[in-house]
């Protein structure tokens, strides 16, 4: 009876954020379409590095990608609610699922249209000039690198949750906050010669790590592993796009 009467609303902002992250990880773990869309997002973000996209164009690309994943997660939520309330065929249940699937199709069509107008007339551009455009756009490069870090952490957490469910024991989960903090720190280190800015960024990154350990949300090894992932991915992205 206590479980049935348990409150399901969030008691504070931190709990709300954690539950939202759990929802994203659940969708990534259980929905094959979300996994495919995340892989496609990684590919498109990497490709965008080699095209001279304006801020508005890059924003349109990111919005289109997130809209598809958002629609897929809403569709998953609708299907879960429908299955919760009925386990037999009902015309209205079918309508709810069909409308949810239709939203995903519309979002995907929108993504195709956006990608077409962004990339079609630029496909023929190749060579060192494209690489130079990437080098001259550190903000774009940094944003894409950090996006890669976030996607990698979500994928790792989803994989670890699957392993935990199969093995029935505690799994190793890298710290996402540490990964993002040290990814940003690495990007700042690469792009600035100002020692004050770098020092302040380093202090903030250390505070993030210390908070995760002190609150016992993550172990020392999980924090170190997360930070290492952030540093390595940013270095890899910069190496692939800048060093010839």
Which residues belong to the active site? Answer: 72
What's the Cα-to-Cα distance from 146 to each of 19, 42, 63, 142, 236, rounded to whole Å? 22, 11, 16, 6, 12
The number of helix segments (H) and strand segments (E) in the chain equals 9, 0
Q: Which two tokens stand for residue 210?
A: 């210390």
Does residue 194 come out as left (phi exceeding 0), alpha (psi in the -120 to 50 range) or beta?
A: beta
Asked if 42 and 83 count as a contact pair (C-beta separation under 8 A), the reply is no
Residues 6+ apart with CB under 8 A from 142: 184, 187, 191, 234
Helix, strand or coil for residue 193?
coil
Please state, in angstroms and as integers, the Cα–Cα distance from residue 149 to each residue in 1, 53, 170, 184, 232, following that order. Answer: 42, 21, 23, 10, 9
Tell which residue, 174, 243, 238, 157, has the closest CA to residue 209. 174
């Amino acid at each position: 009876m206590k479980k049935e009467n348990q409150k399901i609303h969030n008691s504070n902002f931190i709990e709300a954020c954690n539950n939202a992250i759990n929802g994203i990880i659940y969708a990534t773990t259980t929905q094959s379409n979300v996994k495919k869309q995340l892989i496609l997002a990684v590919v498109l973000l990497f490709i965008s590095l080699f095209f001279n996209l304006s801020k508005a164009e890059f924003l349109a690309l990111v919005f289109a990608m997130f809209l598809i994943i958002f629609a897929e997660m809403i569709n998953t939520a609708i299907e879960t609610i429908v299955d919760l309330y009925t386990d037999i065929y009902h015309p209205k249940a079918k309508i709810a699922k069909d409308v949810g699937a239709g939203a995903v199709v519309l979002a995907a069509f929108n993504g195709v249209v956006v990608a077409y107008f962004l990339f079609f007339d630029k496909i023929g551009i190749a060579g060192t000039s494209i690489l130079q455009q990437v080098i001259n756009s550190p903000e774009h490069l940094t944003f894409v690198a950090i996006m890669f870090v976030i996607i990698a952490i979500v994928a790792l957490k989803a994989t670890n949750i699957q392993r935990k469910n199969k093995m029935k024991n505690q799994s190793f989960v890298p710290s996402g906050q540490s990964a993002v903090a040290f990814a940003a720190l690495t990007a700042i280190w690469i792009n600035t010669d100002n020692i004050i800015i770098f020092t302040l960024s380093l202090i903030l990154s250390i505070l993030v790590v210390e908070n995760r350990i002190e609150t016992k949300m993550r172990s020392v090894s999980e924090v170190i592993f997360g930070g290492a992932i952030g540093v390595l991915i940013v270095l890899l992205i910069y190496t692939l796009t800048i060093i010839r």
